[in-house]
Amino acid sequence: MNRKHKIVLGLMILLGVIIFWHESKDIDYHQVIHGLNNLKWGWLIVAVGLMLLSIVLEAFVVGALLHRQGEPRQPFINLLRIPPIEAVFNAVTPFSSGGQPAQLVALLQMGYEGGRASSVLLMKFIIYQVVVLFNFILTMIVGFRQVVGQFNGLALLITFGFVIHIFTIGMLLMVMFYYRFTKNMTIKLFALLKRLFKRPKIDQWQIKALQKIETFHEESLQLKREKKKVLKASLLTLAQLIAYYLIPYFVLLALNVPRVNMLTVFSMHVMIVMITSIFPIPGGAGGAEYSFKTLFSAFVPNTTALILGMFLWRFITFYLGIIFGIVAVAIKARPVRQGDSVAISEQKD
């Protein structure tokens, strides 16, 4: 991590402290201590375990996409570094844009050639977006009507997040199946932009955009050829997200919240993740806390328990990943046996 990332990380932690201080300044701290003393630690350990399981499953996704017949398998510690590194760099960049480049650097450190590493990360991104959308559509059927009835403002944010995901996946599918049309439309769009803005910058943006379209189209062809690998990675990603989405359910159980419905809580968490993704602030700070407090107030009428639950949930799902990410950045990739890393980087796609 460079100096800029460390500064942003420090500001993110400070912002988190300010948010929790603001939310908790009017509550009785004796009730907080009472709530902590009465926590069901077993359920809280389950919530932490689900977060760890989510990280491990994502590492298996990376391993599944990287593996090729006849190649030596990477030490699992190398694969296990990838998800926390992604988490910490997502946390310090707007719209979580830093995770992909950071993962690319980590794969290069493991001995993979840049083109192949980019291909794997692109495949991982596509699979993740599709599985997130699949989860979201299912949970919209279960929980969206309740959100619309109680929280109109959040319903608009959820719908906006859904539209953004649809647009993202739609653009990816356009490049995959209508490559020439997408490329021509992109050229026409930049031709229009050149009439409105300074030409040198637009030229640079056009070159980068066309390069990304070209790269993505080539990798999408690879994706179509490796159906079994994609299916395996998709199932692992589904299991990873299910583990992650279940975390607030066990946090609420740890807080002794009565009459908690697993499916409803699961649906609410999916919607929170969707809302958080549209906030440009690193880590979705503010938006995540507001969404949790608003949605789960229906389950937790006690303000003290609600704030405590929000803190525990945010720590497990966000700050714990940052802690693991800092450790992962500090750990060097373990080399494969001598000669194997060379074979990995030299093997052509």
Longest CA–CA span in the chain (Å) reads: 65
Tell me the pLDDT band of 278, cut-offs 50, 70 and 90. low
pLDDT computed for residue 6 by the predictor:
65
pLDDT mean over 23-43: 75
What is the pLDDT, as a whole number, of residue 2? Answer: 61
**Amino acid 54: pLDDT:** 96
Rounded Cα gap, residues 74 and 76, in angstroms: 6
Residue 138 has pLDDT above 80, yes or no: yes
pLDDT value, residue 45: 96
State the pLDDT at residue 338. Answer: 45
Instruction: Indicate if the pLDDT at residue 334 is higher than 70.
Output: yes
The answer to whether residue 346 sits within a structural domain is: no
Q: What is the pLDDT of residues 178-193, one digit of tens each?
A: 878 888 888 888 888 7
Q: What is the pLDDT, as a whole number, of residue 84?
A: 93
Residue 50 belongs to some domain of the structure: yes
CA–CA distance, 324 with 327 (Å, rounded to integer): 5
Residue-wise pLDDT for 191-243, tens only, equals 887 777 766 777 777 787 887 777 777 767 766 777 888 899 999 999 999 99
Whether 341 maps to a domain, the answer reads no
Taken as a whole, the chain contains a residue count of 349
- The reply to whether 122 falls in a domain is yes
Query: Comparing 137-151, 250-264, 279-293, 314-328, which segment has the lowest mean pLDDT?
Result: 279-293
What is the number of domains present in the chain?
1
Residue 347 lies in a domain: no
Residue type, 127: I
Please tell me which residue, 302 or 32, carries the higher pLDDT value.
Answer: 302
**Mean pLDDT of the 145-161 span:** 68
Q: Report percent pLDDT > 90 for the chain.
A: 17
pLDDT at 307 (0 to 100)? 83
- The least confident of 40-44, 225-229, 247-251, 299-303 is 299-303
SS3 category, 138: helix
* In-domain check, residue 344: no
Q: State the Cα–Cα distance between residues 110 and 103, nearest whole angstrom.
A: 11
* Structural domain includes residue 79: yes
The whole-number pLDDT of residue 53 equals 97
Q: What is the pLDDT of residues 71-80, one digit of tens each?
A: 777 888 999 9
pLDDT at 342: 43
162 close to 283: Cβ distance less than 8 angstroms = no
**Distance (Å, rounded) from C-alpha 302 to C-alpha 237?**
35
Region 86-99: what's the mean pLDDT?
Answer: 78
Find the mean pLDDT for residues 303-318.
Answer: 86
Contact 169, 130 (CB under 8 A): yes
Query: What is the pLDDT, as a whole number, of residue 348?
Result: 43
**Are 85 and 103 within 8 A, CB to CB?**
yes
More confident residue, 29 or 296: 296
Calculate mean pLDDT across residues 130-142.
83
- Which domain covers residue 204, as residue numbers? 3-336
Cα distance between residue 324 and residue 51, in whole Å: 11
Could you give the C-alpha distances from 47 to 7, 88, 300, in angstroms and in order? 30, 20, 18
pTM: 0.80
Residue 343 lies inside a defined structural domain of this protein: no
For residue 258, what are the contacts with CB-CB under 8 A and spacing of at least 6? none
Res 285 pLDDT > 70: no
Mean of pLDDT over the chain: 79
Question: Higher-confidence residue: 233 or 36?
Answer: 233
Q: Is the pLDDT of residue 150 over 90?
A: no
Share of the chain above pLDDT 70, in %: 77
- Tokens in use for 159? 């719908």
Sequence-ordered alpha helix ranges (H) in the chain = 3-24, 29-37, 41-66, 76-91, 99-109, 114-150, 152-177, 179-196, 199-225, 227-245, 247-254, 262-276, 287-296, 303-314, 320-330, 340-346
Name the DSSP letter for residue 71.
S
Question: Is residue 36 over pLDDT 80?
Answer: no
